[in-house]
Amino acid sequence: MPKVICDGEDWIMSVCQVTKNILNKMRDVECHYRDIKYIDDHRYVIAPAVKTYNDGKYILNASDCFKVSCFGYDRYGFSILSKRWHGYNCGIRPIEPSPSPPGREKAINVLILGFDSASRNGFIRKMPKSYKFLKDELEAVFLNGYNIVGDGTPDALFPILSGRTELQHPYARQRYSKEIYLEPNLFIFHTAKQDGYQTAYYEDMPWIGSFQYRYNGFSRRPADHYLRSFLMEETSHGSKWWKGIHRRYCLGATPQYQFLLNLTKQFMNLSTKRFCFTFIADISHDDFNLISTADDDVVDFLGHMKRSGKLKDTLLIVMGDHGPRFSPMRSTYQGKIEERMAFMSIILPERLKMERPSALKSLKSNSKVLTTPFDIHTTILDAMGLENLSSDFIVPNFKIRRGMSLLQKIPRTRSCDEAGILPHWCVCLNTKWYNVLKTDRMYQKTADSLSEYINNITDEKR
């Protein structure tokens, strides 16, 4: 697919200052900044304008995001008419995080970069450069047995970000009630914030938001830095949808996916402990083929993370939520498998590998066994040193926890039932049957296990 090319030139970048290039061409530049203030996931207000002149800088305070309009005069022209520009942008407003508990000041940072509808095989096909960079340069561990636990993005993100299913949250489905909201305190952002982290949750396509399309969303910010109100305002007039494919995927003069990557990079440059979840949907949700346009830029982003030394103390997860759900491929056998097997790659920080030499070995071993979104939640908390806060939920009638840390060995015999995966979503049940020879060690073992199982459940009656 051709790369997304965005027209025009932005006068203002995330630093809230007119660019040098514009100042070299324009004089008497005046800009009006208006904060976009979050109220809840469905409401926001636009603050009164604050003026700056020429190279004057606007200081973010009440919000990370703003709309801005500027005008000025051609520095070398003779026109008495001003040139005007209008746009949107975001930065990182200063926040004083909660103090870290004693001894927790230098805990591992976390960055999760997700792409909507990215199956394991789909990512390998459409993002070959990014996959190669993850494999060769970052030595990522790919979870080849990673199995989703439910339908769509919410059933992938509820377990990862909270360790719970939808039913273990307030019942905030829109068709049930318009008054019940999801509780931010049940999500990992709150856990991290309580431990002294600054938190960020960046997700595009607000009209089909992960927690707003079927649900009522949040009544207060789930993370310190949150884009929902900004993108609701930026897309509210609908003008970008009528100006062709390039305008649709742009935010001003920048591709929207690149905007999210830039903001993520800016957040990860903070000096505090950092927890960031960035979820990009607009270049993969409607047409997964389009994700290939971001391949080079994702490689650049990952390369920056490595070159800047961030990966020394940052757990990096690059993932998909599920595979194709409504493309023609979905009707094929391959498509049904890919829908259930999302892309999941994990890069352990150098510091963690030094402090826990067995962690990488366990992670590599677990790449070949059945794993789920619940495990990702427990793994993140384990890497942060907060495993004691992970869910201890055990599926009824089983003995092991539903969510297990990938930094410790997971039993190879683990079943979908034990992992909390319903039969419809279990890839193990969607494989084709084959005959086992009588000489196979599993032949007799299977019969023994079956008779033992039957005897156990009939023991009380007998």
The ranges assigned to domains in the chain are 20-90, 109-425
- What pLDDT is stored for residue 243 in this prediction? 54
Q: Is the pLDDT confidence value at 245 over 70?
A: no
What pLDDT, on the 0 to 100 scale, is given for residue 448?
A: 93
> What span, in angstroms and rounded, lies between the C-alpha atoms of 99 and 91?
23
What is the predicted pLDDT for the residue at 240? 57
Q: How far apart are CA 455 and CA 228, in angstroms?
A: 55
Q: Where are the alpha helices (DSSP H) in 198-287?
A: 228-234, 244-248, 256-268
Write down the pLDDT at residue 122.
Answer: 96
The 10s digit of each residue's pLDDT in 117-146 is 999 999 999 999 999 999 999 999 999 999
| Measured distance CA(173)–CA(177) in Å, rounded | 6
Average pLDDT over residues 19-42: 96
pLDDT score recorded for residue 434? 75
* Mean local confidence (pLDDT), 315-339: 92
At 328 the pLDDT is: 86
Distance CA 200, CA 263 (A): 10
What is the rounded distance in angstroms from the CA atom of residue 277 to the CA atom of residue 113?
A: 6
CATH number of 109-425: 3.40.720.10
Pairing of strands 197-203, 273-280: parallel
**For range 210-231, the mean pLDDT:** 97
Token duo for residue 242:
């009528």
Identity of residue 61: N
Average the pLDDT over 218-237 and give the result: 94
pLDDT for the residue numbered 43? 96
Q: Where residue 386 falls among pLDDT bands split at 50, 70, 90?
A: very high
Q: What is the pLDDT of residues 398-418, one digit of tens each?
A: 999 999 999 999 999 899 999
Question: Given a cut of 80, is residue 429 above it in pLDDT?
Answer: no
Contacts 24+ apart (CB under 8 A), 4-7: 4/245, 4/246, 4/249, 4/250, 4/255, 4/257, 4/283, 4/293, 5/246, 6/246, 6/247, 6/249, 6/250, 6/251, 6/252, 6/253, 6/254, 6/255, 7/246, 7/247, 7/250, 7/253
Residue 238 has pLDDT above 60, yes or no: no
Confidence (pLDDT) at 30 = 96
In the predicted structure, residue 77 carries a pLDDT above the cut 80: no
Q: Mean of the pLDDT values across residues 57-63?
A: 94
Q: How far apart are alpha carbons 381 and 160 in whole angstroms? A: 11
Per-residue model confidence (pLDDT) at position 51 = 97
Note whether 58 and 93 are within 8 A (CB): no
Q: pTM score, two decimals?
A: 0.91
- Look up residue 193 and give its amino acid: K
pLDDT band at 241 (very low <50, low <70, confident <90, very high): low
Give the mean pLDDT of the chain: 93
Q: What is the pLDDT of residues 352-361, one digit of tens each?
A: 999 999 999 9
pLDDT of 231 higher than 90: yes
Phi and psi at residue 372, to the nearest 5°: -140, 170
- pLDDT per residue as tens digits for the range 432-461: 677 889 999 889 998 999 999 999 989 988
Ramachandran class of 397: left when φ > 0, alpha when ψ lies in -120 to 50, beta otherwise:
left
Token pair belonging to 140? 């990522």
Q: What is the mean pLDDT of residues 229-250?
A: 74
**In degrees to the nearest 10, what's the CA dihedral of 351, 357, 363, 369?**
-170
